[in-house]
Amino acid sequence: MKTGTADRIKVWDPLVRLFHWTLVISFTVAYVTGEEGDLVHFYSGYVIAGLLLFRLVWGFIGSRHARFADFVRSPREVIEYTRSLFSGHPRRYLGHNPAGGVMVILLLLSLSGTVVTGLMLDPAFDSVVLEGSVSNRVLLGDDDEERGEGYEEEDDEREGGMEGPGGEGNEVVEEWHEVLANLTLLLVILHIAGVVVSSRLHRENLVRAMITGYKPRDPEA
């Protein structure tokens, strides 16, 4: 596989880039549609769940800079790198720098919490996993018409919002879902700020690198 040219080097593989930008779009859609809690919100949440599962696996078996081992650093290394930012001459990393690695982990954790609480609010997920109603219909041999009515009821509950069948018990989950979603948004803003700062200090376009997959071998050249 081609890893670069004389003046640039391949850093991000296609799957990492696809994951990144699909996650950007999915989270934006999910956050914007959060108040309505409609089908688009739920489906975008499921897309995010799938993306997180992929990233977990890819973090162990993926390309070099996609692996957690490449960017999960010790607290001491993170502190030293953060201090070097204020000097204006931080050490350059081809993959995620120590501060960026911390942000990646925080985002993955925050998104995971948001997804889990979101699933707990989804009537369809509640019936399938927690109550097993859909599975029971199939195992007991209920006719297609009854199963269809069940699915329609779940869709109606989804369209009606994020209250779900749990009633008041779901209010706490919904509050946590909103808190985690807002925390994720805050982390995204900090991440964007970090990308801007790092791009300026290292004199390289990190956004373009996540689009093309390439970084310059020598940003100073």
**pLDDT reported for residue 157:** 55
**pLDDT reported for residue 89:** 85
CATH class, range 8-122+162-216: mainly alpha
- To the nearest 10 degrees (0 to 180), the angle between helices 14-32 and 169-202 is 130
**pLDDT reported for residue 221:** 53
Instruction: Look up the pTM and report it.
Output: 0.81
In this structure, the chain runs to a length of 221
**pLDDT reported for residue 93:** 93
Q: Where along the chain do its domains lie?
A: 8-122+162-216
**pLDDT reported for residue 195:** 96
Q: Quote the CA–CA distance of 205 and 23 in Å, as a whole number.
A: 20
SS3 call for 214: strand
- DSSP for 56-95? HHHHHHS-GGGSHHHH---HHHHHHHHHHHHHT-PPP-SS
Q: Could you report the average pLDDT of every consecutive run of 10 residues in the chain (221 residues)?
A: 71 98 98 86 96 98 97 96 89 94 98 96 68 47 50 54 55 94 98 95 94 86 53
165, HSE (Cβ side, Cα atoms, 13 Å): 15
H and E: helices and strands count for the chain = 10, 2
In single-letter form, the type of residue at position 191 comes to H
